Structure 1
Amino acid sequence: MKPEASIPATTSIVVMGVSGSGKTSVAQELSRQLGWEYIEGDDLHPEVNVAKMAAGSPLGDEDRWPWLRRVAEVIGEHAAAGRSVVLTCSALRRAYRDLLREDNPSVWFAHVQVSEGVLAERLGKRQGHYMPPSLLDSQLATLEPLGEDEPGGVIPGDGPLEQTVADLLADLRRERGVAAS
């Protein structure tokens, strides 16, 4: 565990990964167990981004930057108010994660990592989501692994939700002193 002085007063857990990795399910269950607010990062996308993805077009950096700035702003608002939060955000590239944690020491990334076969299966079963399975390849190509110098951990997400959340809570307890209520 890191020295007490280095642990921020609040923690903003950014549950990250590609579409179909289980970010939302993990974040919702984590939020429930911690008793913290949950925010679906996709809800912060501008309508133009949602329309573009729904049409099967991958987002480019010019599409992502305004959305990521909004996510970072929400993180900052919660930290300034002294509230810890769990939110989802694909955060696929290091540059995106750098923006999220710029001026936000509360950020801790939980990269839910899932095999391509499981991702394809999950996306094939998904209904009512604007992100079509056809965009998975572009997300996998964009994904940059969490660096050793980035706050957070890589959590296996192929197994049961309960195990994924338990693994995540163990990492949080070890690195941030955060425990479920």
Structure 2
Amino acid sequence: MRKLVSILICALALMAGHIQAQEVELTKAEKKALQEKIDSIQHAEAIKAINEKEFTLEADQVVFKYGQTAYVTANTNFVSANGENAVVQVAFNIPAAGPNGLGGVTVDGKVSSYEVKTDKKGTTYLSMNVMGIGISARLDITMPKGTNSATVTISPNFNSNRLTLNGVILPAYKSSVFKGRSL
């Protein structure tokens, strides 16, 4: 009788473990489905913001000309467009204050040649020129389908110090960036 009870207890324990494993798998599937819905909504918001010229790309990674990377704070490293005006700011976590007071550079400019395209795979491409006192550059933004993650390549017109920022595109009203002093 003791053997039978021991076998039944072991069988129940195995079944309970199996049921918990199924619940975890179901939870993972639900989490994945939920994340896909969130990504889809964020992508739609980003597309709307780009089309309305009211967006901010908050960057958490900078890639320099020769491929070196640096992880940075998203609220002080950004590219934003507000109608015909644009701001490009980079701020590195260094002890020196830099021209913008944050360890980097902030430049304001006017947007021209604003062009948005979407390819057959759903990737959105935005290119624009930004001209101002401290900047004259072409900005090329790429955002894959189904996400608000994006890459912006900043190509100055007067030198070859290309800079790439990786981050997310948000509508301007959802952005929480901190702008330093402009050049």
When the two structures are superposed, what TM-score results if normalisation uses the length of structure 2? 0.24
**Structure holding more helix per residue:** 1
**Structure holding more strand per residue:** 2
When Rg is computed on C-alpha atoms for both structures, the one with the higher figure is 2
When the two structures are superposed, what TM-score results if normalisation uses the length of structure 1? 0.24
